[in-house]
A and B are shown apart, each in its own frame.
Chain A
Amino acid sequence: MEYILEIFLDDYRLSKIKGTPVEANIEAVFGGELKVLRLKVGEDVKNEILKAFETARIDSRACITDTPVAFRRALFEEIANQKSLTEDVARAVLARINEIKELAAKESEFLPPPEIEE
């Protein structure tokens, strides 16, 4: 079975992949209100991610969700570096797992709230 890692794209991230082959894979969802990349992985990588992060889970869309923000940031960095959406990207991120876990541990204590109008 295939599992999906979703990477949401804001303007900054869009600029980082502009002109790369990845750009062709951008999907617009929810009436075009959200841009997303979808990276597909197999059982082994899925299991490694679930094992690494206690909060990670599989949702009803077969997406791997509730991973730390640090993991998702690293995932995007690797996509931008490798200019690719293959499973190798996820493997490269897993190779940095200790560094990501360290960041994730801090993240479980504090996440900066967005500044929105009250």
Chain B
Amino acid sequence: MSELYFKRPMPHGGKLVERVITDRRIAKKFYEACKKTGAVYEIKPTLHYKRGVPVRNVYREIMSVCYGFFSPVEGSMTSAELESVLSKRRLLSGWVFPYPILFDISKEDYQKLGVSEGDRLLLTLKGKPFAILDIEEIYEIDPEELANRTFGTPETNPEVVREKFDDKHPGWVIYRSHNPIILAGKYTIINEPVFKPPYDRFWLPPRKCREEFERRGWRTVIAHQTRNVPHVGHEHLMKNAAYTGDVEPCHGILVNAIIGVKRRGDYPDEAILEAHEAVNKYGYIKPERHMVTFTLWDMRYGNPLESLLHGIIRQNMGCTHHMFGRDHAAVGEYYDSFATQILWLKGIPSYGFDKPVNEVEGGLLIRPQNMREFWYCPVCKEMVYSETCGHSKQKQKLSGSLIRGLVAEGVQPPNIIMRPEVFKVVVKWWKKFNYPFVNERYVQWKEQELEVDIPDLD
């Protein structure tokens, strides 16, 4: 029987990256040495290239790299690595990776810093020592070219790209807003940030996550990507997708929320985490089978590309399966609605995948569970799976937008759409922020406060 069991996949690249110095004594020595050389840079949010509002904070990428979520990436990419990612979606080592990961600074800051290749740069966050960057290469980019090449165009990627990316696309804006000077090299966190509530309850980096799966006896685990408060359609997706597994349904469902700057109209991060927690706290999926965690990342909304990153993150966390629905991590109509599923079922040659991403060299081991849609069927009188129910003409689709519309008008969504306990979480954070969704004021506040505090190292 055991030969039919699925094994927990190895981390992407074979080894979990862990670049965090936890011994305070050693960390202080690094800090003292850095202070002597004098190169110190205070991390700033990336501002929208036109509007000047925060769209990203590189600290999130440093955290995700150093705690191993993005294994095998170890730092800011060199020019050769960047070219390899943009042209082949592969790191120089051959492992699949979808996005440029870069430490960018302005020309003015570069002049002021006076660093060169071979230097070590101390990075501070909120005025306190946070990480170091060992500079291997310094080069210049054209942010617009970076943004265009990251996502592609309808001409270069006709299989899935439907519209030219522009400044209505938050991911394109993030890359377009990058500063032109790139400091490439490995990051090391020397002073572990402390997560604030409610984030502290949900922080489970890959090594600890793998240990938790062992502790719970979860051999098979299916990942659920979220950037949203769960409605009943999401709940059905989780419940039904989890029926896959090996000789029995998946033992666990790992909800992994993406936490970072989001687009206006999304829910606040705090509400997203606690609303998913409410799903298990109130027994809609029992807590023995459902766990909520997060990854720090300013979403690029890159649909198939984002799904690759999600696969990498959750494989690194130890998941055996990943569920993918329609419009995965999508915004607008830039991509085919099922672009992610095309990538995982057939491949997208123009992105460098002539086969499904599990079958290419350097590809992923996590198994996709490609799901179509759930909707309410008034004939069956229940939520149904689109490929099962025969009453598709009568379907009543449930969408996040529909629920946002109800919420904004102060109408409590019926239980069949959103669980009352989930709505209570939405209202709890609504009262705190005076607004149910992400707006400009929330983004400004959040990017000033961040999810973490930095302890003293002196």
Given the complex, which residues of A lie within 8 Å of B105, measured CB to CB? none
Asked whether any CB of chain B lies closer than 8 Å to the CB of A24, the reply is no
Given the complex, which residues of B lie within 8 Å of A61, measured CB to CB? 397, 399, 402
Given contacts A55-B264, A108-B435, 4 further A-B contacts (CB under 8 A): A59-B399, A65-B401, A108-B440, A116-B424
Given the complex, which residues of A lie within 8 Å of B435, measured CB to CB? 108-111
* Main DSSP-derived SS at the B contact region: loop
A33 to B434, CA, bound (A): 28
Does the CB pair B376–A108 fall under 8 Å? Answer: no
Asked whether any CB of chain B lies closer than 8 Å to the CB of A113, the reply is yes
Closest to A117 in B: B424
A118 to chain B, nearest CB (A): 7
A to B CB contacts below 8 Å, 13 in the list: A6-B402, A10-B411, A33-B417, A34-B406, A34-B417, A57-B265, A61-B397, A65-B402, A72-B405, A108-B435, A111-B410, A111-B435, A116-B423
Asked whether any CB of chain B lies closer than 8 Å to the CB of A69, the reply is yes
A68 to B163, CA, bound (A): 25
B67 to chain A, nearest CB (A): 33
Asked whether any CB of chain A lies closer than 8 Å to the CB of B195, the reply is no
Sorting the interface of chain A by its residue count into under 10, 10 to 19, 20 to 34 or 35 or more gives 20 to 34
Asked whether any CB of chain B lies closer than 8 Å to the CB of A94, the reply is no
Encode contact with B along A51-87: 1 for CB under 8 Å, 0 otherwise: 0001101111101011001001000000000000000
A62 to chain B, nearest CB (A): 10
A residues apposed to B, CB below 8 Å: 6, 8, 10, 29-31, 33-34, 54-55, 57-61, 63, 65-66, 69, 72, 108-114, 116, 118
Asked whether any CB of chain A lies closer than 8 Å to the CB of B431, the reply is yes
Does the CB pair A113–B399 fall under 8 Å? Answer: no
Given the complex, which residues of B lie within 8 Å of A113, measured CB to CB? 410, 427, 430-431, 434, 436
* Chain B positions 375-432 with a Cβ under 8 Å from a chain A Cβ: 376, 378, 381, 396-402, 404-406, 408-412, 414-417, 423-424, 427-428, 430-431
Of B331, B406, B416, the contact of A31 (CB 8 Å cutoff): B416
Asked whether any CB of chain A lies closer than 8 Å to the CB of B94, the reply is no
A33 to B337, CA, bound (A): 29
Closest to B415 in A: A33
- Which 8 A-B pairs have CB atoms at the shortest separation, nearest pair first? A65-B401, A33-B414, A59-B401, A113-B430, A114-B410, A59-B399, A61-B397, A55-B265
Does the CB pair A8–B416 fall under 8 Å? Answer: no
Closest to B373 in A: A60
A10 to B414, CA, bound (A): 12
